[in-house]
Structure 1
Amino acid sequence: MFLIAVITLLVALVLFRFLFSGKSQRRSLPLPPGPKPWPVVGNLPHLGVFPHHSLADLARKHGPLMHLRLGYVDVVVAASASVASQFLKTHDANFSSRPPNSGAKYMAYNYQDLVFRPYGPRWRQFRKISSVHLFSGKALDDLKHVRQEEVAVLAHALANAGSKAVNLAQLLNLCTVNALGRVMVGRRVFGDGSGSDDPKADEFKSMVVEMMVLAGVPNIGDFIPCLEWLDLQGVVSKMKKLHKRFDDFLTAIVEDHKKSTGTAAHVDMLTTLLSLQEDADGEGAKLTDTEIKALLLNMFTAGTDTSSSTVEWALAELIKHPHMLARVQKELDDVVGHDRLVTELDLPNLTYLQAVIKETFRLHPSTPLSLPRMAAESCEINGYHIPKGSTLLVNVWAISRDPAEWAEPLEFRPERFLPGGEKPNVDIRGNDFEVIPFGAGRRICAGMSLGLRMVSLVTATLVHAFDWTLADGTPEKLNMDEAFGLTLQRAAPLMVHPRTRLAPHAYKTS
């Protein structure tokens, strides 16, 4: 017995030493380099007005893998394709959850949505529901007529704009919201179907933009929890008021839909979600009204303003580069002609247009700084210690402008994606990390395929159906500044005069 006890003790000591030495070795690894933090607030002052700009500047000094201390929170920033690949591919499973934040708590129904919900079985259920019922290839193909009809409504409205200047952002928002609305809830959410401006749609867009601005503000309470109750910036108060407005909007939609269930001509996503309140389809617990509203909130906010702003950036770049605009128009004329509008079936044949779309996503990614992820466990990246619980930020904007990856990265040059260009085979769907506008890995944007189709179709239609002149100034002086927010908005809306270039019957709607 004594001998057994001694052997057991020796084995325990060996195991303890092995585990202890391994832990010590892991802890002996240095944290990634970064700017020296200030007392208490840490590196919060380093973020500046445009965090993706400030972090890109810091990365040039400290390297593409940085460590920041925001209040009491460890933050690591990836600012190169190779570093982003380490986090989002090699260690993707370890970074599949979100850190706690006030935006998710106060605006996204306390983490009951798809975007901010912690990784786990319920999140996978939500992801499957959206993938199967809204974003699968079949679902997108079945409803392509909806997108084409709403884009035709947009073209009709622009063709009848007359001589007045058009705020393109307003009409793009109306088009994308109604296209998504018909898919989500079976009807247009705003407007009378004429494509003309709608004050309620403008109010909705302002709500979405406000949400993105508030979500982009580094809230001190998130990083210094003991100060959360003070709401020093007034951010939480604004979030709560905005959430009430969104909740009223979404509650009305859900309640109206419940009353009209069974009268719709086709099954929309909300009908499917409501059916899962009765039958969870073998995928887990039944959905609640709150969870349904949280999913609708994700779709209407993440799926509308990102698409419309990307189209606005694309058209602005083409107006700024008239020879590129002419080249896209020639390609469209050759493929489509002058007697009809573009359809989604035309898109695979528009090589130069697709290069323009890729270049727009590269230079103007809709989410320049990725939504944060959190390390479930400590790990090692490139010889540095990444602490458990640390927040990961991927600077998508900086990566897509990295001179180590791109020749003249600040230039808008679609030719780089054409055969013979510098990166003709780059995939923007999360497989090639030098341009990841939708993110990558498990938390890649669920609506990526829909977003690509919508952006491509709308951009192609606007370029094909109209010639464009600016309402004020010349293309060379077009303001290309960014506005602050979680998404990449233009600082100044694109004010333009459209002039038809197709046969008159092409602009008629059914």
Structure 2
Amino acid sequence: MILSKLFIKNHFAVRMHQTCITIFFFLFSLCQSKMDLLLITLITIIIAAVIQNLRRRRSNIPPGPPPQFLVGNLNQLKPLWTQSFSEWSQTYGPIISVWLGSQLAVVVSSSDLAKQVLRDKDYQLCNGYRTARMTQNGSDLIWSDYGAHYVKMRKLCTLELFSLKSIECFRSMREMEVRSVVKSIYKDLMSDDQKPVVLRTYLGSVALNIVSRLVIGKTFGPKEAREFKSIVDRETRLPGATKMLDYATWLSSWFTSDKAFMKHMARRKKWFRRAVMDDEFGGRVKKCFVQSLLALKEKNELTEETVMGLVWNMLTAGADTTAITIKWAMAEMIRCPAVQDLQNELDAVVGSERFMSDTDIPKLPYLQCVLKEALRLHPPTPLMLPHKASESVQIGGYRVPKGATVYVNVQAIGRDPANWSMCPAAQLSLNMMTLALGNFLHCFSWRFSTPQEHIDMTKKPGLVCYMKTPLQTPLQALASSRLPQELYL
């Protein structure tokens, strides 16, 4: 009986395809002009969409909002995709199907289902879904498919950057960079203590300096840092960089061009060779991640494209997300003032005769809670980078077909009481953010003139959770020193 139903189902699909092909060639034989050819193409698309819709109804994929012709659910998505995903999850359940054009996306919004995606079914779902053309063709770590290359790159990054030994080894470097920024703020205050401190500038600087020292063994000069930030900003605004046309494949070939991408990639490669690989640009202070990569490149075990992709992964993922999280933490503390209590904890543990260090972090539970709450409310990447199913897999009792994209809605899971680790770099990033936030609050008192209710906490649409209005009060404040002058000097 089961075999009979399967035969009927498959036979029906085959007959439908044969019918489509027959109709197409019949119409093609009647084609007399380009307009006729365009009409035939449109009819073929319609027939293919009908077949696809019939297949959807017969598969046990997760429920979700009804897709519309050709665009799927793209036109129903709000600028902040996580908002739409969370609303649909309340209607259809913690695992939903969303059609991004012709591409099926499965979104999970609970910690239990996230464990299935990221741990239990990791083998079938660990491939990267590459939508943008700036993903190094999967030769880096973030966008690579599962295989020998992925395993090798992940092991290399874990040993060189994310192990407890590496974190401890670079502790003094992190503290040095944070103290350098603290002294820069103090120097600016000495010149004009009534001038607002643009905190976002200092946060971006300290985050990039820490990560660049860790990854390439040196900091960038002002010119190279500005160029890096400009390139990263440009990437998020290029046509086809995780935009609608990435998913509406029937439109992408008509409206996108390789010219802008080729120009951008040439600019990125030029910056990378000058700022990272050119030893004459500035000596490295000690053995670092890029030196290990270059040693493997010399042995022909890695290509230059892979080296550039891995370094770019670490610089962009590490620097940006660190600064963003501290910005949100500062903004939340203004809306729910608890700075005085937090400073009391810092004074009791650290005192006023020295700067806070990494070793103080375990003794500062309130500071850790503030930072983790900021991460819960405002994860720097509200949606994890998309995964792609390498084979059909069961998640939450539903079938995720081969080739489907799978998203983990981190922002929704953040509201879940269950808590567990998802990121191999979690400890490194937490230490960096806690150290920076703690020093800013320990070394300075911050005053803000705008009332709490006027603070704009709106998020800017995109892969990373930026503030929509970054120049608002939380990032511009009057500061005054709290520690003895000799410490800053």
Task: Note the residue ranges of structure 2 that are not aligned, 5 or more in a row.
Answer: 11-56
| Alignment correspondent of 2:26 | none
Alignment of 1:137-148 (within 5 A): 137-148=164-175
Decide which moves more: 305-314 or 267-276. Answer: 267-276
Aligned with residue 491 of structure 1, among 441, 464, 468: 468
- CA shift at 1:33, angstroms? 1.1
| Alignment correspondent of 2:36 | none
Distance 1:497 1:239 in 2: 42
After TM superposition, the score normalised by the length of structure 1 is 0.79
Is the Cα contact below 8 Å between 2:218 and 2:285 reproduced in 1? no
- CA shift at 1:213, angstroms? 5.5
Is the Cα contact below 8 Å between 1:319 and 1:468 reproduced in 2? no
Q: Quick one: structure 1 residues 89 and 109, their matched pair in 2 at CA, closer, same or farther if it must change by over 3 Å?
A: closer
Alignment of 1:98-497 (within 5 A): 98-101=128-131, 103=132, 106-162=133-189, 163-191=194-222, 201-212=225-236, 218-231=242-255, 238-257=260-279, 264-279=284-299, 286-322=301-337, 324-401=338-415, 405=416, 426-427=419-420, 429-430=421-422, 444=423, 446-470=424-448, 472-493=449-470, 494-497=475-478
- CA shift at 1:329, angstroms? 0.7
Q: Quick one: structure 1 residues 28 and 161, their matched pair in 2 at CA, closer, same or farther if it must change by over 3 Å?
A: same
Is the Cα contact below 8 Å between 1:216 and 1:486 reproduced in 2? no
- CA shift at 1:475, angstroms? 3.1
What secondary structure sits across from 1:170 in the alignment? Answer: helix
Distance 2:316 2:267 in 1: 13
Is the Cα contact below 8 Å between 1:465 and 1:502 reproduced in 2? yes
Deviation digits for residues 97-140 of structure 1, max 9, x if unmatched?
Answer: 01231x2xx32322221110111111111111111112221112
What secondary structure sits across from 1:342 in the alignment? Answer: coil
Distance 1:316 1:397 in 2: 18
Q: Quick one: structure 1 residues 455 and 250, their matched pair in 2 at CA, closer, same or farther if it must change by over 3 Å?
A: same
Is the Cα contact below 8 Å between 1:107 and 1:240 reproduced in 2? no
What secondary structure sits across from 1:467 in the alignment? Answer: strand
* Corresponding pairs, count: 435
Is the Cα contact below 8 Å between 1:214 and 1:485 reproduced in 2? no
The percentage of aligned residue pairs carrying the same residue is 32
What secondary structure sits across from 1:32 in the alignment? Answer: coil
Q: Quick one: structure 1 residues 238 and 490, their matched pair in 2 at CA, closer, same or farther if it must change by over 3 Å?
A: farther
Report which of the two has the higher share of helix.
2
| Alignment correspondent of 1:89 | 119
Distance 1:359 1:216 in 2: 34
Q: Quick one: structure 1 residues 209 and 484, their matched pair in 2 at CA, closer, same or farther if it must change by over 3 Å?
A: farther
| Alignment correspondent of 1:32 | 62
Deviation digits for residues 168-219 of structure 1, max 9, x if unmatched?
Answer: 112111111111222222221134xxxxxxx653453343244345599643
| Alignment correspondent of 1:412 | none
Distance 2:394 2:156 in 1: 34
What secondary structure sits across from 1:54 in the alignment? Answer: helix
- CA shift at 1:154, angstroms? 0.9
Distance 2:61 2:368 in 1: 41
Distance 2:61 2:375 in 1: 32
| Alignment correspondent of 1:52 | 82
Decide which moves more: 302-311 or 494-503. Answer: 494-503
Deviation digits for residues 378-406 of structure 1, max 9, x if unmatched?
Answer: 122233221111100111112223xxx35
Is the Cα contact below 8 Å between 2:275 and 2:281 reproduced in 1? no
Is the Cα contact below 8 Å between 1:220 and 1:227 reproduced in 2? no
What secondary structure sits across from 2:407 in the alignment? Answer: strand
Q: Quick one: structure 1 residues 216 and 66, their matched pair in 2 at CA, closer, same or farther if it must change by over 3 Å?
A: farther
Deviation digits for residues 68-98 of structure 1, max 9, x if unmatched?
Answer: 1211111111122222223223222211101
Task: Note the residue ranges of structure 1 that are not aligned, 5 or more in a row.
Answer: 1-13, 192-198, 280-284, 407-422, 431-443
- CA shift at 1:376, angstroms? 1.4
| Alignment correspondent of 2:91 | 61
Is the Cα contact below 8 Å between 1:173 and 1:205 reproduced in 2? no
| Alignment correspondent of 2:14 | none
Q: Quick one: structure 1 residues 294 and 369, their matched pair in 2 at CA, closer, same or farther if it must change by over 3 Å?
A: same
> In structure 2, what residue type is equivalent to 1:204?
F
Q: Quick one: structure 1 residues 301 and 17, their matched pair in 2 at CA, closer, same or farther if it must change by over 3 Å?
A: same
> In structure 2, what residue type is equivalent to 1:59?
S
Is the Cα contact below 8 Å between 2:123 and 2:146 reproduced in 1? no
- CA shift at 1:31, angstroms? 1.9
Q: Quick one: structure 1 residues 244 and 52, their matched pair in 2 at CA, closer, same or farther if it must change by over 3 Å?
A: farther
Distance 1:203 1:220 in 2: 27
- CA shift at 1:367, angstroms? 0.4
Q: Quick one: structure 1 residues 203 and 336, their matched pair in 2 at CA, closer, same or farther if it must change by over 3 Å?
A: same
What secondary structure sits across from 1:361 in the alignment? Answer: helix
Distance 1:46 1:241 in 2: 33
What secondary structure sits across from 2:460 in the alignment? Answer: coil
> In structure 2, what residue type is equivalent to 1:455?
M
Query: Greater Rg, structure 1 or structure 2?
Result: 2
What secondary structure sits across from 1:499 in the alignment? Answer: strand
Distance 1:452 1:330 in 2: 21
Decide which moves more: 488-497 or 207-216. Answer: 207-216
Q: Quick one: structure 1 residues 376 and 66, their matched pair in 2 at CA, closer, same or farther if it must change by over 3 Å?
A: same
What secondary structure sits across from 1:156 in the alignment? Answer: helix
Is the Cα contact below 8 Å between 1:213 and 1:484 reproduced in 2? no
- CA shift at 1:495, angstroms? 1.4
Distance 2:379 2:387 in 1: 18
